[in-house]
Structure 1
Amino acid sequence: MTRPKLWTKDFIMVCLTNLFLSMNFYLLMVIFSEYTVKKFDAPQSLAGLASSIFILGTLCSRPLAGKYLDVIGRKKMLYSSIIVFIVTTILYLVINNLALLLIDRFIHGAALGVAATVIATVMTSSIPRERSGEGIGYFSMSVTIATAIGPFIALIIVQQAGYNMAFLMCVIFAVIGMVLSLALKVENVKISKEQAESLKGFKLSDFFEFSGLSMAILMVILGFAYSSVITFFSAFANEVNLTEAASFFFLVYAVFLLASRPITGTRFDVKGENSVVYPCMILFLIGMLILSQAQNGFILLLAGALIGIGYGTTMSCIQTIMVKKAPPHRVGLANSTFFVSFDLGMGVGPFVLGSILPSLGFRGMYVSMAVVVVLCIIYYFFAHGKKVSYIQKSLQAEQ
């Protein structure tokens, strides 16, 4: 039996669009706090706010985008949000007031929240359901590549040409994303009167898809654990004198995740989610333990490889599970709920972990996050894995 085609023009274009918009975000993420301190002589607390207020913007806009996606129309929401995304990026070049910078940063995040929700929904509509695990896995690689290349480019540009050139590069990435999005086949979905009526009002179910709530909770906790890496890794590498190897950490992360994707994506669709989620969460656990004890460059990069395969794959598996659980007309809400969960974990993590870091130290913090991953494995078993295993055994018995 011939498998349905995955790599269509629409799927390739939606992945590329997401890549360039994500490059804009991750390039700015690594330099923005430092820029705020140097440009406005801001204290570290405000510099941290200037960075994190972007995520607050995405958190506020994603639920609204998920709810009104098919009411307003996917095309209108996609193109209008990317235009706002471009304009707010351009404004970084001219803003000379910290309050205005914070407002612009919030709107920039909100625009990305809307655009990313629409793009993810268009992506899930463009892949065959039989290959959803594989397709969403490859799509999430666009973000993974951005997390590796964006910070790498940012540091080089700032060192060689300054912050304004970095902002200009972000504008270029955003414009490329806009041009690519014009080639997307964005089909507006007609909703019935009953579905339209169900979206009226302000019930929680209007903003979140609760069929995947257990997986959303898991994503919050895993995102919380991973935030210890994305936020404090640079400082940790400086403390243990591994800065040279550290510059390649996220590149190794991306390469190993990309290399594993054909295997994990296909296995998810053929063998089921448990066959991928359990091994990958264990790899994430081992990677965090190895990172906590890293004494040389090889061990540090080994941790990057294991965390890349472990966390990166688990993240795309959770998104796939949440999308498959949702009714077709609420796929947009399922995607926005997934990203809200991811943003929440990544947003809360730095504040909480920053407060306990002086007591635990970097190594102690990473060990504690490994314990959190163990709890996630146990939680997954009771919240989802046990039921999936029972269903699979029942189907095998019937055959």
Structure 2
Amino acid sequence: MTKDRLFTPGYICILAANFLFFFGFWLLVPVLPFYLRETYACHTAAIGIILSCYTVSCLCVRPFSGFLMDRFPRKPIYISCYVACMAMFLGYMSDTTLTAFILLRAIHGVAFGGVTVGGNTLCVDIMPSSRRGEGLGYYGLTNNIAMALGPMAGLLLHGQISYNSIFLAGMTASAIGLLCAISVKARTPESLRKPQHPVRNTAGGKRQDDNVTPANRTVRSHGISLDRFILLKGIPVSISLLMLSIPYGATTNFVAMYAREINLDVPTGFFFTLMAAGMGASRLVAGKKVDRGYITQCIRFGYYPVIAAFLLLSLCRQAVSVSPAAATTMFFTVPLLLGTGFGVMFPAMNSLYINLAPNNQRATATSTYLTAWDVGIGIGIVSSGIIAQHFTFYMVYLTGAALCTLSLLFFVHRVTPHYNRNKLR
């Protein structure tokens, strides 16, 4: 049987737009802690709090962006937010005070929330449902490639050129990505389509919509309720995802500082490259497994390398004093484990949320998924800065391993039965 076509022009454009958008994002992630310390003399705890304002503003807008994109055409909102993100780089190049920087990061977070929800939902809209897991895997792979190149490029440029030049590079990538985003031909969201099969009785007494499945049935009430902003059936899995993303946020934002703290002389930009390589390889396999129905199995499998990675990262502090070579090997094994674990889980998690929602709440499901992720990352950034200020980053990653273990137990005993009872497809 011939497979439905996945790589259409629209799908290719959304992949390119996503890659360039996240390249600009990842270019700044490992550089901004140094920027705040060198430009504004911020201490570690303050850096964590300042950087978290981006995540906080992002998660505040996500539920509303999901609601808006289910009620109105998605593409105009997506493009508007994309333009706002690009404009923020100009703001970074012109700001002169720490207050201005914090304000710009908060605005950037709001726009980022809209772009990520819109891009993910548009991607789901334009791909065939029979290849959704695979399609989401490739879509996430563009983020992984950006993660491989962006942080490495940012850390290589740090110290070689000015911060304003780094900001300009991020803005240029976003501008090219915007052109790709504009080229995407979006379909009309199902929530905006007029019902194709009105309810009426046939000669046999059977209603014409009796064959409509739960997944295809749309909610026709125009009232506003909590479930239009948050996918209520996705709350259990959101708890697991939140605990999982806390140490992830601590790693992506502070791993370069951790290596410097324990006197490990390694190219930390390569850490992100290896993590992206692990994610890319595992996503390609996991996406096809998800399409075959192995959603909860993929998520459960992904937990094990992630837990091992955070535990190993915490032990680098002790290893470096015994054998720097062994510590270096351990340090670079961590991103491969993280990439493999998260690469397996991401497309499965995304599909899990989509399967819990009717088609007219697709953007709401996506925003709930990303909101849970952002909440955890925000907590991870703030808490890791505070813990590192009073203890060391060793304790941050040891705590992360414990949180991921707790998340696994909750997923197995609470989330999986809930999903099997409530999935729509």
CA distance in 2, matches of 1:390, 1:118: 28
Q: Which moved more, 1:352-361 or 1:225-234?
A: 352-361
In structure 1, the partner of 2:302 is 280
In structure 1, the partner of 2:176 is 176
In structure 2, the partner of 1:104 is 104
TM-score by length of 1: 0.89
In structure 2, the partner of 1:324 is 355
Are the equivalent residues in 1 in contact too, given 2:56–2:109 (CA < 8 A)? yes
SS for the counterpart of 2:3 is coil
Are the equivalent residues in 2 in contact too, given 1:158–1:165 (CA < 8 A)? no
Are the equivalent residues in 2 in contact too, given 1:74–1:187 (CA < 8 A)? no
Amino acid at match of 1:275: Q
In structure 2, the partner of 1:299 is 330
Amino acid at match of 1:378: L
Q: Which moved more, 1:30-39 or 1:40-49?
A: 40-49
Are the equivalent residues in 2 in contact too, given 1:75–1:187 (CA < 8 A)? no
Amino acid at match of 1:35: Y
Are the equivalent residues in 1 in contact too, given 2:356–2:422 (CA < 8 A)? no
CA distance in 2, matches of 1:391, 1:324: 9
- What is the 5 A alignment of 1:1-399? 1-41=1-41, 47-189=47-189, 190-191=192-193, 198=221, 200-201=223-224, 203-294=225-316, 295=319, 296-357=327-388, 361-386=392-417
Alpha-carbon shift at residue 75 of structure 1 (Å): 2.3
Q: Which moved more, 1:35-44 or 1:315-324?
A: 35-44
CA distance in 2, matches of 1:154, 1:53: 21
TM-score by length of 2: 0.84
Alpha-carbon shift at residue 113 of structure 1 (Å): 0.9
Are the equivalent residues in 2 in contact too, given 1:63–1:333 (CA < 8 A)? yes
Alpha-carbon shift at residue 34 of structure 1 (Å): 2.9
Q: Which moved more, 1:330-339 or 1:355-364?
A: 355-364
Q: Which moved more, 1:189-198 or 1:170-179?
A: 189-198
Deviations 1:357-390 (A, max 9, x none): 4666433432332222222221111223346789
CA distance in 2, matches of 1:184, 1:38: 40
Amino acid at match of 1:223: S
CA distance in 2, matches of 1:49, 1:355: 9
CA distance in 1, matches of 2:364, 2:50: 28
Higher relative contact order (CA 8 A, sep 6+): 2
Alpha-carbon shift at residue 43 of structure 1 (Å): 5.6
Alpha-carbon shift at residue 42 of structure 1 (Å): 5.1
CA distance in 1, matches of 2:44, 2:333: 32
Amino acid at match of 1:56: V
Larger helix percent: 1
Are the equivalent residues in 1 in contact too, given 2:45–2:389 (CA < 8 A)? no
Amino acid at match of 1:19: F
Alpha-carbon shift at residue 307 of structure 1 (Å): 1.0
Give the 3 Å change call, closer, same or farther, for CA 48–304 of structure 1 in structure 2: closer
Are the equivalent residues in 2 in contact too, given 1:245–1:301 (CA < 8 A)? no
Alpha-carbon shift at residue 27 of structure 1 (Å): 1.7
Amino acid at match of 1:242: L
Q: Which moved more, 1:36-45 or 1:20-29?
A: 36-45
Deviations 1:110-142 (A, max 9, x none): 111111111110011122222222221221122
Alpha-carbon shift at residue 161 of structure 1 (Å): 1.2
Unpaired runs of at least 5, structure 1: 393-399
CA distance in 1, matches of 2:110, 2:170: 16
Deviations 1:278-324 (A, max 9, x none): 22111111222222223322222122111111123213321111012
CA distance in 1, matches of 2:250, 2:155: 20
Q: Which moved more, 1:289-298 or 1:80-89?
A: 289-298
